[in-house]
Amino acid sequence: MWFHLRCSRDFVENVGLIMRIFLAIRAFFSVLFSKAYATKVRKLALEDRSNAIPSLTILAVLQREGRLVDFLREDIDQLEDDQIGAAVRAIHKGCRKVLAEQLHLEPILSDPEGTSVEIPMGFDPSAIRLIGNVKGDPPFNGILKHHGWRAAEVRLPDPLPGVDPRVVAPAEVEIL
């Protein structure tokens, strides 16, 4: 069985010297004896990520499919509710398509919203935000207001060579 490198940032930051040596040896032999693995490592090593801005990539995709940026920048205070509703339906459809095709999201807490939950000692504060009357130390008991979302898989398009990754949506000019 070949070693597959799947490391979270937390794992990389907290791994000790002995473990890094062990991983390096396993990776070395995996590259040495597996052409497919060596190809993947080479592609990863040669990949230029200096221009990739993932947050702008997802924003660009949401703009392209759902015109989300246009809608959010629009001043809707003067519009009637039915006008807003009609616009939101199209935006919702396009943005929902992006989520379905390019982001696999899963709830952080699987309990139904409105139910009682216990937050144990050692919980991840980046994944669970405590609100309300927070006093003392965990475990905490409370009512789940929102289950949260975690990206289980992200399938963003690769940036095209020669394309400015900061462009969220290109200007459109109709030639007459």
Give the position of tokens 């396993």: 26
Which pLDDT does position 48 carry in this prediction?
56
85-93 contacts at long range (C-beta below 8 A, 24 or more positions apart): 90/66, 91/66, 91/67, 92/66, 93/66
In this prediction the pTM is 0.56
78-82-85-90 Cα dihedral, nearest 10 degrees: -100
For the chain, residues with pLDDT lower than 70 are: 1-15, 45-53
Strand, helix or coil at 169?
A: coil
What are 136's two structure tokens?
């003392």
Q: What is the pLDDT of residue 9?
A: 46
Which tens digit of pLDDT belongs to each residue from 95-145?
899 888 888 889 999 999 999 999 999 999 999 999 999 999 999 999 999
Check: CB of residue 102 under 8 Å from CB of residue 155: yes
Which amino acid is present at 152?
A
Q: Burial, 99: exposed, middle or buried (Cβ in 10 Å; 0-12, 13-18, 19+)? A: middle
pLDDT at 122: 93
CA distance 8 to 13: 9
